[in-house]
């Protein structure tokens, strides 16, 4: 059995290693165009930022051994050809044509071929896009280039084009090097593919506090170069920003050139189309990782969501199937997590925007809270947004931002979505509780209860964006701030003559001070006490009462 794998990344090497475990006799060859097989590209921002000390640390085993060519030959009996380019796949002859690093050409026969060609970064067609100092941080060479510039003392200012995941992580890495960072994002908030606006604004505000400059709704129209090197960028055709480094972080495209050239079917997303066995339109060719499309488990539609976690799962499935197995891969829901400085950010499933575009009757909840019992030292705030289908109660997605623990909570929601759970199921999950780990009713379960209260008509809310619009339009509303005097002094507040301050504990005895003929918007720190106040006012006969959802935790002005 001859198994040839094109691509020495997560999917390719996982497939090769899985195949070896199942078939000790197979001839397995991996062809990689780069110099560093088995390199964890997701760690490159941490290498640039000094958190990971050596490039080889991104390809060490748990035992500390570098997974280089010799490692795979000695331990796995897998041959890896590095710096070798595949020029053609001949499906009739079942051979792969290659050009080696010394320029020589050769052919490698296969019984099964695995395409793990990954993705390639999008490079914008801008003036001077090929100038020295323009990088994508997709390859280790770009990471080394950034660090060389820093070592030479010529890296002081950087512009990141794109406010996505790579942009966020690299902003931290460069800030760790005392580089002045500006992010330019085309849409109206950062992380537009991952988060809804109110959750993204939490990240955006935090980055601004960390000294990262952010320009949203803006486009880099030119890279300014002098003597072949970057000296700045032009934004929206007029504004100039100084920079020694420009990072293009506007996304990636599936690397499907070889697949197209040999006539394999390409899916509607532009990635290689595969079945549940990760088999292409050629039964002897499998594909996985960032070059293929997946099925979204909520919508049932093809999606292109390149993630290292998915690539590794693909590799195992492929390794099984090229050695006689029948493993399948069901699909994805886009679960993603990352950190920027000390802020943890996670999401899974659909955003509210995506769900509405797909025609769902969407119901959501914003729920700030602590990550453990509030009386425990070290407790930290988290912000949760849940998205559900109002008709069926099915969970559709979640987003979490905060300084506390969000990874276990996003994984709970991801599991719940894949199991088809409803918001009522989530509210009654038997989660572990002890004060060092969570609140008695975990903030995630509290968020589920908020959705249920909204669904049942008990909790009536208005977003902070809607409140801001009403104030800007001069609407005659009453902002009822029910926080204590100490909270009002200590935390941010809305400066407006329409603000009426009555602490919650004094609300009943001051009920006559509240106009009954106006819309009442109740404000507290995170929204929970405002719900109590809403129910009190409605009990006294007030008809138009709403809570500013998420409280002052979601006030960005």
Catalytic residue set: 42
**Alpha carbon of 467 to those of 93, 180, 203, 368, 476: distances in Å?**
67, 34, 21, 18, 12
The closest alpha carbon to 447, from 491, 479, 488, 402, belongs to 402
Instruction: Give the residue carrying structure tokens 């049942």.
Output: 456
Helix pair angle (464-472, 197-209), 10° resolution: 80
Handedness of CA 364, 366, 370, 374 (dihedral sign): negative
Instruction: Give the residue carrying structure tokens 């106040």.
Output: 533
Contacts for 274 with CB less than 8 Å, ≥ 6 apart: 280, 286, 287, 288, 292, 293
CA gap 409, 182 in Å, rounded: 31
Both tokens of 274, joined, read 């595969």
The closest alpha carbon to 22, from 323, 374, 434, belongs to 323
* SS3 labels along 42-66: HHHHHHHCCCCCCHHHHHECCCCCE
Contacts for 364 with CB less than 8 Å, ≥ 6 apart: 352, 385, 386, 387, 388, 451
- With left for phi above 0 and alpha for psi between -120 and 50, is residue 193 left, alpha or beta? alpha
Helix pair angle (10-22, 308-321), 10° resolution: 30
**Alpha carbon of 144 to those of 139, 140, 173, 370, 458: distances in Å?**
9, 6, 13, 40, 57
**DSSP track, 335-399:** -EEEEETTEEEEEEE--HHHHHHTT--EEEEEEEEESS-TTSTT--EEEEEEEEETTT-BEEEEE
CA gap 267, 392 in Å, rounded: 31
Instruction: Give the residue carrying structure tokens 């280089």.
Output: 68
């Amino acid at each position: 059995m001859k198994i040839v794998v094109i691509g020495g990344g997560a999917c390719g090497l996982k497939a090769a290693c899985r195949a070896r475990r199942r078939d000790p006799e197979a001839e397995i060859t991996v062809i990689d165009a780069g110099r560093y097989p088995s390199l964890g590209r997701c760690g490159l921002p941490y290498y640039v930022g000094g958190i990971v000390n050596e490039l080889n640390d991104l390809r060490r085993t748990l035992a500390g051994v570098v997974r280089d060519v010799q490692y795979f030959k000695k331990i796995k009996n897998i041959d890896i050809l590095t710096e070798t380019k595949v020029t053609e796949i001949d499906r009739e002859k079942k051979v792969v044509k290659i050009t080696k690093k010394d320029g020589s050409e050769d052919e490698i026969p296969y019984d099964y071929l695995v395409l793990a060609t990954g993705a390639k970064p999008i490079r914008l067609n801008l003036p001077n896009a090929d100038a020295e100092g323009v990088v994508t941080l997709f390859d280790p060479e770009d990471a080394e280039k950034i660090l060389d510039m820093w070592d030479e003392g010529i890296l002081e200012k950087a512009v990141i084009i794109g406010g996505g995941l790579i942009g966020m992580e690299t902003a931290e890495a460069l800030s760790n090097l005392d580089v002045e960072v500006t992010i330019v994002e085309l849409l109206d908030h950062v992380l537009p593919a991952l988060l809804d606006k109110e959750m993204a604004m939490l990240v955006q505000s935090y980055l601004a506090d960390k000294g990262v400059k952010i320009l949203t709704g803006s486009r880099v129209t030119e890279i300014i170069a002098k003597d072949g090197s970057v000296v700045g960028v032009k934004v929206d055709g007029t504004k100039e920003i100084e920079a020694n480094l420009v990072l293009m972080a506007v996304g990636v495209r599936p690397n499907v050139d070889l697949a197209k050239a040999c006539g394999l079917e390409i899916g509607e997303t532009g990635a290689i189309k595969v079945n549940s066995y990760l088999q292409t339109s050629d039964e002897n060719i499998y594909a996985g990782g960032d070059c293929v499309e997946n099925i979204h488990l909520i919508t049932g539609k093809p999606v292109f969501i390149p993630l290292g976690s998915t690539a590794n799962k693909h590799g195992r499935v492929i390794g099984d199937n090229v050695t006689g197995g029948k493993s399948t891969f069901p699909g994805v829901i886009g679960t993603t997590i990352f950190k920027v400085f000390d802020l943890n950010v996670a999401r899974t499933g659909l955003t509210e925007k995506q769900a509405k575009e797909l025609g769902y009757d969407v119901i959501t909840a914003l729920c700030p809270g602590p990550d453990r019992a509030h009386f425990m030292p070290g407790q930290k705030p988290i912000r949760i947004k849940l998205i559900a289908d109002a008709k069926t109660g099915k969970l559709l997605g979640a987003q979490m931002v905060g300084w506390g623990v969000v990874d276990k909570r996003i994984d709970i929601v991801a599991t719940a979505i894949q199991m088809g759970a409803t918001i009522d199921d989530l509210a009654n999950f038997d989660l572990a509780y002890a004060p060092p780990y969570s609140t008695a009713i975990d903030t995630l379960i509290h968020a589920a209860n908020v959705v249920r209260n909204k669904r049942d008509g008990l909790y009536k809310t208005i977003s902070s964006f809607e409140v801001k619009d009403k104030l800007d339009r001069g609407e005659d509303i009453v902002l009822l701030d029910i926080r204590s005097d100490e909270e009002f002094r200590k935390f941010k507040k809305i400066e407006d003559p329409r603000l009426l301050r009555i602490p919650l504990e004094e609300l009943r005895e001051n009920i006559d001070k509240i106009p009954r003929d106006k819309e009442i918007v109740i404000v507290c720190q995170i929204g929970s006490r405002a719900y109590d106040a809403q129910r009190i006012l409605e009990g006294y006969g007030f008809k138009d009462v709403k809570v500013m959802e998420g409280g002052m935790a979601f006030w960005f002005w």
